[in-house]
């Protein structure tokens, strides 16, 4: 987002990250296939087509779990934040692997009859009332359609055209898609009456995803509750939000005021400034970012804003909400009235007694 940063395009870090994802997927598929061929022999031998289908299906399933765990993990521990950087590419990779699984499955189970394979997929099993014979493949197909929608709108072009909140709402469909995939696998296992280990693995995955989300949500809610009880000072607009020592030099921090509204504070060259915590790109948590090249830098995709006025450096034009801030005896005080995005506010010098 800064002049030196090329947003959501290829750069060296993304290439390394994508290279690791591609080799991880390739290794997983090869190991799964070879293990299946070695472990299941003779009467138990599994056909290569089914092994490929299973390798691709479980790989997509695993990737979906990783994607869903990255968000809460990064909220619980900042060390996971770099993983958020390329989550979109991981999403596209998941769709491609799931697509390959779906294509092999449709070709293998529906490609040899007289019906069109897609018609066969939709009509060959209509036991919707049965748990053990439920047409679980349809659930996989709906989930795949959602993943397609998300992968095809993952580019910043769509983010700009749909607007951040509509784009975000669209991409929250990953949760219904996950639910459908879990049902697809669970009902598929039920029909094949396969190993209880596989069922235990599915249950462990769901528990892990749900548990991490609940843990991260509860911790943030508790922190917001605790911090939102900050009181105004002597009827003035100012709210005490902590000590200057709570913020490392050239770093940010997040505080909650007004019953949960999050404000990002930054310490830069001996001054404190305050902006919204919500990045104009995709709502990334600015307070978890750093000052790079003199600008507030979002930890998610690196969009930048000047701390003095919340405006992106030229040639970029994005603006974020700023807040008045002052420092009194080492304590930071913020006026929680949000100013128009891009409003210049003098940063508060740490040495000064009062700065309005």
Residues that bind ligand HEM (CB under 6 A): 50, 53-54, 57-58, 60-61, 64, 98, 101-102, 105-106, 109, 121, 137, 140-141, 143-144, 147, 181, 184-185, 188
Q: Which of 60, 180, 185, 279 binds ligand FES (CB under 6 A)?
A: 279
Applying the rule CB under 6 A, the residues between 78 and 117 that interact with ligand FES are none
300 is a contact residue toward ligand FES (CB under 6 A)? yes
305 is a contact residue toward ligand FES (CB under 6 A)? no
Q: Which of 301, 306, 326, 355 binds ligand FES (CB under 6 A)?
A: 301
Q: Which stretch binds ligand FES (CB under 6 A): 103-111, 177-185, 191-199, 279-287?
A: 279-287
264 is a contact residue toward ligand FES (CB under 6 A)? no
Rg (CA), the chain: 25
Q: Which residue has 């911790």 as its token pair?
A: 219
Q: Could you give the residue ranges of the DSSP H alpha helices within the chain?
A: 12-39, 48-76, 81-84, 87-110, 117-123, 136-152, 156-162, 164-171, 174-192, 196-227
Residue 282 binds which entry of ligand FES, ligand HEM, none, CB below 5-8 Å type-dependent: ligand FES
In angstroms, what is the minimal distance from the CB of 214 to ligand HEM? 23
282 is a contact residue toward ligand FES (CB under 6 A)? yes
Q: Which stretch binds ligand FES (CB under 6 A): 50-58, 174-182, 237-245, 278-286?
A: 278-286
Residue 300 binds which entry of ligand FES, ligand HEM, none, CB below 5-8 Å type-dependent: ligand FES
Residue 64 binds which entry of ligand HEM, ligand FES, none, CB below 5-8 Å type-dependent: ligand HEM
Give the three-state DSSP class for 240: strand
CB 28 within 8 A of CB 62: yes
Burial 9-21 (b: 16+ CB within 10 A, else e): eeeeebeebbeeb
User: End-to-end CA distance of the chain, in Å?
Assistant: 30
Question: Can the peptide bond before residue 315 be classed as cis, meaning omega within 30 degrees of 0?
Answer: yes
Residue closer to ligand HEM, measured from CB, 90 or 348? 90
Residue closer to ligand HEM, measured from CB, 5 or 28? 28
Residue closer to ligand FES, measured from CB, 7 or 308? 7
Q: Which stretch binds ligand FES (CB under 6 A): 10-18, 50-58, 218-226, 297-305?
A: 297-305
DSSP string, 162-229: H-HHHHHHHHTTHHHHHHHHHHHHHHHHHHHT--HHHHHHHHHHHHHHHHHHHHHHHHHHHHHHHHTT
Residue closer to ligand HEM, measured from CB, 135 or 299? 135
Which pair of structure tokens corresponds to residue 253?
A: 């921090």
CB 135 within 8 A of CB 125: yes
Residue closer to ligand FES, measured from CB, 57 or 284? 284
Which pair of structure tokens corresponds to residue 294?
A: 């003199």
Residue closer to ligand FES, measured from CB, 28 or 85? 85
In angstroms, what is the minimal distance from the CB of 53 to ligand HEM? 5
Checking phi first, is residue 193 left (phi over 0); if not, alpha (psi -120 to 50) or beta? left
Q: How far apart are CA 342 and CA 163, in angstroms?
A: 19
Residue 53 binds which entry of ligand HEM, ligand FES, none, CB below 5-8 Å type-dependent: ligand HEM
Residue 255 binds which entry of ligand HEM, ligand FES, none, CB below 5-8 Å type-dependent: none
CB 92 within 8 A of CB 144: no
Residue closer to ligand HEM, measured from CB, 191 or 228? 191
In angstroms, what is the minimal distance from the CB of 292 to ligand FES? 12
* CA–CA distances in Å: residue 326 to residues 74, 262, 287: 30, 17, 18
Binding site for ligand FES (CB under 6 A): 279, 281-284, 298, 300-303
């Amino acid at each position: 987002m800064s002049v030196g940063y090329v947003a959501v395009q290829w750069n060296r870090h993304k290439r390394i990250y994508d290279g690791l994802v591609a080799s991880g997927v390739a290794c997983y598929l090869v190991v799964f296939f070879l293990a299946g061929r070695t472990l299941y022999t003779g009467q138990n031998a599994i056909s290569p087509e089914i092994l490929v289908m299973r390798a691709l299906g479980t790989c997509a399933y695993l990737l979906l779990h990783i994607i869903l765990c990255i968000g809460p993990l990064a909220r619980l521990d900042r060390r996971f934040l770099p993983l958020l950087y390329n989550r979109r590419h991981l999403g596209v990779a998941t769709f491609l692997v799931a697509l390959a699984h779906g294509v092999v499955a449709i070709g293998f189970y529906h490609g040899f009859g007289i019906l069109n394979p897609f018609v066969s997929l939709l009509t060959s099993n209509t036991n919707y009332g049965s748990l053990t014979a439920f047409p679980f493949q349809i659930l996989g197909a709906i989930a795949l359609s959602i993943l397609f929608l998300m992968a095809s709108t993952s580019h910043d072009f769509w983010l700009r055209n749909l607007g951040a909140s509509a784009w975000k709402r669209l991409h929250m469909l990953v949760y219904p898609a996950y639910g459908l995939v879990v049902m697809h696998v669970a009902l598929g296992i039920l029909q094949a009456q396969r190993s209880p280990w596989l069922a235990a693995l599915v249950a462990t995955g769901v528990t892990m995803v749900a548990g991490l989300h609940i843990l991260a949500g509860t911790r943030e809610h508790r922190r917001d509750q605790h911090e939102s009880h900050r009181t105004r000072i002597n009827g003035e607009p100012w709210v005490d939000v902590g000590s200057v020592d709570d913020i490392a030099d050239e770093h940010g921090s997040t505080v909650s005021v007004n019953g949960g509204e999050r404000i990002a504070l930054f310490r830069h060259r001996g001054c404190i400034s305050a902006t919204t915590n919500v990045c104009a790109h995709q709502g990334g948590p600015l307070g978890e970012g750093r000052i790079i090249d003199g600008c507030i830098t979002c930890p998610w995709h690196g969009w930048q804003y000047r701390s003095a006025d919340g405006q992106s450096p030229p040639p970029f034009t994005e603006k974020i909400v700023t807040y008045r801030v002052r420092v009194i005896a080492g304590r930071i005080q913020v006026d929680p009235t949000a100013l128009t995005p891009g409003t210049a506010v003098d940063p508060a010098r740490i040495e000064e007694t009062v700065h309005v």
